[in-house]
Amino acid sequence: MGKSFDIGLILDFIPKLLGYVHVTFLILAGAILIGIVIGFLVALPRLYRIPVLAQIAAVYVSFIRGTPILIQLFLIYYGLPELLKLVSIDISQWSSMFFVIVTYGLSIGGLFSEVIRAAVTSVERGQTEAAYSIGMSPFVAFIRIVLPQSFAIALPNLANLIIAYMKDTSLAFSIGVMDMTGRGQTLGTTTSHFLEVYISLAVIYYLVCILLESIFSRMEKRVSRYERKFG
């Protein structure tokens, strides 16, 4: 049982927890960078129906969608070092942060690929055919015609995924990463005021979500202004 509720402690805990918010953003930023690369690598074989690779990509996405992020985290943290030992590479002493970022990057990449694939296929095929007719190569047509439109279409779903994974970074403490949630656990243990700690964490995560939502809302208005102009 914890001690009697003390609302004043919430104001005391919030600054202490905010001192670890940079860890959350570091995990999220690293995972997004990895996820974008993986997202395109996984989406392209399925978009262009490349034999074998398309099937492998589909299985990968299905696995990511069908397993909890916490299980994925444990599989990477405990399984990747054992797998690499087979080729005489020892990463067992590497920082837990590395395994967290890799796990979240792989997970985000699988879901990003689905968003990218849906957005690209929603762009009218006639536009790319028109681009080919005036001498554009497939790569140039994709960069100049398809990508800007598909990004505007995909952005709301990408924003939702990023915000969801930002909240899921709270699981990083389960393998020893001292983020806000990990710091909250230690504060709760040392003070026995767990409720105040969790209220403080809820306030911080909520405010960060509002900040991200505001940023993405501005981005959506900016990238979709062509629709307002020509719609």
In single-letter form, the type of residue at position 139 comes to: F
Show the domain range for 210: 1-20+179-231
User: Quick one: average pLDDT of 24-35?
Assistant: 95
Query: Alpha-carbon distance 155 to 148, whole Å?
Result: 11
Same domain, 166 and 185: no
Highest mean pLDDT among 73-77, 90-94, 140-144, 174-178: 73-77
User: Quick one: average pLDDT of 83-90?
Assistant: 91
* pLDDT tens-place string over residues 200-214: 999 999 999 999 999
Same domain, 203 and 100: no
User: Quick one: average pLDDT of 73-89?
Assistant: 93
First-last CA distance in the chain: 60
Supply the CATH number for residue 167's domain.
1.10.3720.10
Same domain, 76 and 106: yes
The pLDDT score that the predictor gives to residue 82 is 93
The pLDDT score that the predictor gives to residue 2 is 55
User: Quick one: average pLDDT of 62-87?
Assistant: 94
Bin 192: left if φ > 0, else alpha if -120 < ψ < 50, else beta: left
Same domain, 230 and 144: no
Same domain, 173 and 114: yes
Same domain, 143 and 173: yes
Same domain, 122 and 216: no
pLDDT band per the 50, 70, 90 thresholds, residue 132: confident
Mean pLDDT across the chain, nearest whole number?
89
Same domain, 215 and 121: no
Domain count of the fold of the chain: 2
- The residue from 177, 196, 218 where one domain ends is 177
* pLDDT tens-place string over residues 148-165: 888 888 899 999 999 999
> 231 pLDDT exceeds 50?
no
> 1 pLDDT exceeds 60?
no
Same domain, 69 and 149: yes
Same domain, 44 and 87: yes
The pLDDT score that the predictor gives to residue 227 is 56
> 80 pLDDT exceeds 60?
yes
The pLDDT score that the predictor gives to residue 37 is 95
52 backbone dihedrals φ, ψ, rounded to 5°: 70, -55
Same domain, 117 and 65: yes
